[in-house]
Structure 1
Amino acid sequence: MSTSRRAFLKQTPVLLGLLQGLPVLGSGQKKKKVMILRSSWQTVNIGDIAHTPGVLTLLEKHLPDVEVRLWPSDVGNGVEEMILRRFPKLIILKTEEQKAAAIQEADFFLHGSGPSFTGRKEVERWTQASNKPYGIYGITYPGVYGFPEDRGKFNPADIELLSKAQFAYFRDSVSLQFAKNHGVKCPEMAFCPDGAFAVDVKDDKSAVAFLKEHNLKDGKFMCVIPQFRFSPWWEIPAKKLAMNEAKNAHNMKMKEQDNAPIREAIIAVIRQTGLKILIVPENETQVHIGKEMLYDPLPEDVKKKVVWRDHYWLTDEAVSTYARSAGLFGLEMHSPIMCIGLGVPAIVCRFEEQTSKGFMWKDIGLGDWLFDMDTPKDVARIVSAVLDMAKNPKAAKEKAAKALKFVRKRQDETMAFLKEKLV
């Protein structure tokens, strides 16, 4: 027997052992598809957190056999643990090596729902690495939070990137029209609801404990959210931002005009219904705003039935809390989105500074629950709309359910289109 033959026979058991550990693909079995999801924009806002588990829920439902790898901006502060409790098989790309490998191995790149074309650099990197397909799922565009002179600004390179996508879905009709007006010619362009409508992460234990501590019973309280024109991110040490003097001055100028109608609605609900009020934050800066602008100025008889949440929370506890509420109103967008996703009524009060995202309320059939804080006629109707929601819960829930039905239909349609591109 030759030396080479003896060596081969000696190694055969080892080789067979290694081969037995590998998956065997049958003649009709296809290789598992891999998708990169670019999402998870920041953790100091439960709405920005919600985009990711929302889209992951849709992918899990419609593309259960696809391996998803999340490319995040930030999953710190307990967000990674929250997401993995719900999606234990999810792969989160953390290192540069993991991201580079994913670009080579993935079949599709999905830019998740978000405030703007937030992940454009990563989309550009994907296109430079290969000709593999990509899509944009539920963004506001251009989504510039700013003064009037800034709102129409965008990167000219965006037009080509959006046009070459397999689809470019926008979460409000104003963004869709803006993209069309500025030359985006993607073959599939349409309205697609924000991914946060599908979020289903929960923390019932924490929510129930908090509500019990403050004597808030299921269905017997409404949630309220305050806000300034610009979120004062400079107040959060981790962001390491200098105060924006112009934005801060604008906040101080407008804060009473904007929050006073919300405060009036709180007073009306307490005095005219049997409901209580829970003041909550959507982003970390709104904890103190809620105390300053809503809770502290309340009359004493009203304050006794109002609870101010004195610390920030994560999306799962918020969802579990909203699910037990009678409804929500205030000056934010994504808590209302999460409420409608639960079938809970929600009113949105918007500013122009917040971009065009608020118009998605009209797009899903809730125009009567959308109020512009710079339109006196709108502001004058806020209290009556909140009272109507509080006093007629059956009709309010039916209205929320109708909007949710439309949202789910569009989610099903857009996910079906994505599935076609992965076949």
Structure 2
Amino acid sequence: MNRRHFVRTAAALPIINAVAAEKPKRLILRSSWQTVNIGDIAHTPGVLALLEKHLPEVEVRLWPSNLDNGVGEMLAARFPKVKVIRGEEVKTAFEECDFLLHGSGPSLVAQADVVKWSQATGKPYGVYGITFSGQQNSKSKTQPPVKTIDVLSAARFVYFRDSVSLELAKKMGCTCPLMEFGPDGAFAVDLQDDEKAEAFLKKHGLEHGKFLCCIPRLRNTPYWILPEKHAAIDEKKDSRNKSMMDHDGKPLLDAIVSVIKNTDLKILLCPEDKTQMQVGKDMLYDKLPDDVKARVVWRENYWLTNEALSTYRRSAGLFGHEMHSPIMCIGNGIPAIVCRWAEQTSKGYMWRDIGLGDWLFDLDKEEELQKVAATVVAMAKDRAGSKAKAEKARELVMNKFAASMAVVKKVW
């Protein structure tokens, strides 16, 4: 299928008349990418919470990739009205639903399914809160490849979660009628597991508002160490990880030592994905001086998004190499500092887009690396100022959500 045909098919959709408007509105949310990362988990409950708030009259059906590790149960408890569809249920949903919304994510993750929806139904679709790198094409055994830019062009709207992605799409010729910056859906997550969070904090002597969370990571996520991924080791990526571990860990180590020596706060080393408990121990905890280590807690077990977020809400802030824990923090008014590098996508630049550019550091730039520790200490010491800064960013994000959800509401 060539681009002209694909765009023409989408553009030729019938205008829904007043009679059709009286029918129940039904939407498929294509989301839930994987469960070994609390950030990837967070995309789905974030967008579901937005749909629940802004489109309460719409019946939402979730078409997931993966809901294992207790994630399905967690979502069902928070969103009991949302029906999860698989197998033949997807075919039925194609017939009954009016619109497909591709959820927030690192790319147009389910591009092949978006194409399948458009070809099978001729009904409209939209894309909500993604990063675009310009590299992806859908592959099919029965159909020729479809370029991502063509799929985006035929959407009713595309919201990019960082301005770098938006500008790249424009530069590559995307002709979608509505393309804008739209925050990552994870900003809207409102999950909680206060009981587990409180039990963990009590066990480890962490008091409300008297600790910072720190999340380290490697340049490339070593999924090959996770049994459920069934992945062979990538020697090149593994070598890169090992060669950069000390370099990338140093600003976090310096920040931890500075916080311990200059404030009364403690530090919680915690993970965003299932590979990072060991990373936290190897990169940071084992390298700390004993007097500093006495006020540092290393979390050795993975957790789900609800417990993590309940913990973040009780902290004084967060810093580290990850993206989605900071996103969830800012979405709840908690200060958060992001460190990034070349191996990551452009997602980190969303911090500039929401007014937090001075809490974003590129660790490939020595002059920025040197500023991390002082910035973390400043964030920790100025509790009121840091909180106000986080709240201002949160307000900007929520206003963007309200505007984009108003657009989603008009697609029928």
TM-score w.r.t. the length of structure 1 is 0.90
Aligned AA for 1:102? Answer: A
1:56 aligns with 2:48: yes
Aligned mate of 2:136, from 154, 161, 171? 154
Structure 1 residues 84 and 388 mapped into 2: Cα distance closer, same or farther (>3 Å)?
Answer: same
Which aligned segments of 4 or more residues in structure 1 are displaced greater than 6 angstroms? Answer: none
Aligned AA for 1:154? Answer: Q
Task: Report how far residue 72 of structure 1 moved.
Answer: 0.5
Aligned AA for 1:292? Answer: D
Q: Which residue of the partner structure matches residue 73 of structure 1?
A: 65
Aligned AA for 2:203? Answer: E
Aligned AA for 1:203? Answer: D
Q: Which residue of the partner structure matches residue 18 of structure 1?
A: none
1:337 aligns with 2:327: yes
Gaps of 5+ in 1: 1-26, 143-151
Task: Report how far residue 34 of structure 1 moved.
Answer: 0.6
Aligned counterparts of 2:162 and 2:20: Cα–Cα separation in 1? 42
Q: Which residue of the partner structure matches residue 9 of structure 1?
A: none
1:37 aligns with 2:29: yes
Aligned AA for 1:129? Answer: A
Q: Which has the larger radius of gyration?
A: 1
Task: Report how far residue 157 of structure 1 moved.
Answer: 1.4
Aligned AA for 2:124? Answer: P
Q: Which residue of the partner structure matches residue 120 of structure 1?
A: 111
1:130 aligns with 2:121: yes
Aligned counterparts of 1:52 and 1:256: Cα–Cα separation in 2? 34
Aligned counterparts of 1:263 and 1:375: Cα–Cα separation in 2? 17
Aligned AA for 2:62? Answer: L
Q: Which residue of the partner structure matches residue 20 of structure 1?
A: none
Aligned AA for 1:214? Answer: H
Matches within 5 A, 1:243-392: 243-392=233-382
Aligned counterparts of 1:235 and 1:284: Cα–Cα separation in 2? 9
Aligned residues: 386
Task: Report how far residue 131 of structure 1 moved.
Answer: 1.6
Aligned AA for 2:308? Answer: A
Corresponding residue SS for 1:347: strand
Corresponding residue SS for 1:368: helix
Q: Which residue of the partner structure matches residue 96 of structure 2?
A: 105
Aligned AA for 1:42? Answer: Q
Task: Write the deviation string for residues 323-372 of structure 1: whole angstroms up to 9, x where unpaired.
Answer: 00000000000000000011000000001211000000000000000000
Structure 1 residues 268 and 32 mapped into 2: Cα distance closer, same or farther (>3 Å)?
Answer: same
Task: Report how far residue 407 of structure 1 moved.
Answer: 0.3
Task: Report how far residue 28 of structure 1 moved.
Answer: 11
Aligned counterparts of 1:38 and 1:266: Cα–Cα separation in 2? 39
Aligned AA for 2:394? Answer: L
Q: Which residue of the partner structure matches residue 7 of structure 1?
A: none
Gaps of 5+ in 2: 1-18, 138-145
Q: Which residue of the partner structure matches residue 222 of structure 1?
A: 212
Structure 1 residues 69 and 217 mapped into 2: Cα distance closer, same or farther (>3 Å)?
Answer: same
Task: Report how far residue 153 of structure 1 moved.
Answer: 2.6
Q: Which residue of the partner structure matches residue 421 of structure 1?
A: 411
Q: Which residue of the partner structure matches residue 3 of structure 1?
A: none
Aligned counterparts of 2:52 and 2:222: Cα–Cα separation in 1? 35
Aligned AA for 1:62? Answer: H
Task: Report how far residue 373 of structure 1 moved.
Answer: 0.5
Aligned counterparts of 2:385 and 2:30: Cα–Cα separation in 1? 38
Aligned AA for 1:366? Answer: L
Corresponding residue SS for 2:30: strand
Aligned mate of 1:171, from 135, 155, 161? 161
1:195 aligns with 2:177: no
Aligned counterparts of 1:399 and 1:294: Cα–Cα separation in 2? 28
Task: Write the deviation string for residues 30-63 of structure 1: whole angstroms up to 9, x where unpaired.
Answer: 2211100000000000000000000000000000
Aligned mate of 1:412, from 382, 387, 402? 402
Aligned AA for 1:240? Answer: H
Task: Write the deviation string for residues 61-114 of structure 1: whole angstroms up to 9, x where unpaired.
Answer: 0000111000111000100000011001110012x2011111111100000000
Corresponding residue SS for 2:287: coil
Aligned AA for 2:197? Answer: A
Identity %: 57
Corresponding residue SS for 2:126: strand
Corresponding residue SS for 1:64: coil
Aligned counterparts of 1:130 and 1:56: Cα–Cα separation in 2? 23
1:182 aligns with 2:172: yes
Aligned AA for 1:85? Answer: A
Structure 1 residues 29 and 371 mapped into 2: Cα distance closer, same or farther (>3 Å)?
Answer: closer
Task: Report how far residue 154 of structure 1 moved.
Answer: 2.8
Task: Report how far residue 232 of structure 1 moved.
Answer: 0.2
Aligned counterparts of 2:330 and 2:282: Cα–Cα separation in 1? 28
Matches within 5 A, 1:197-212: 197-212=187-202
Corresponding residue SS for 1:296: helix
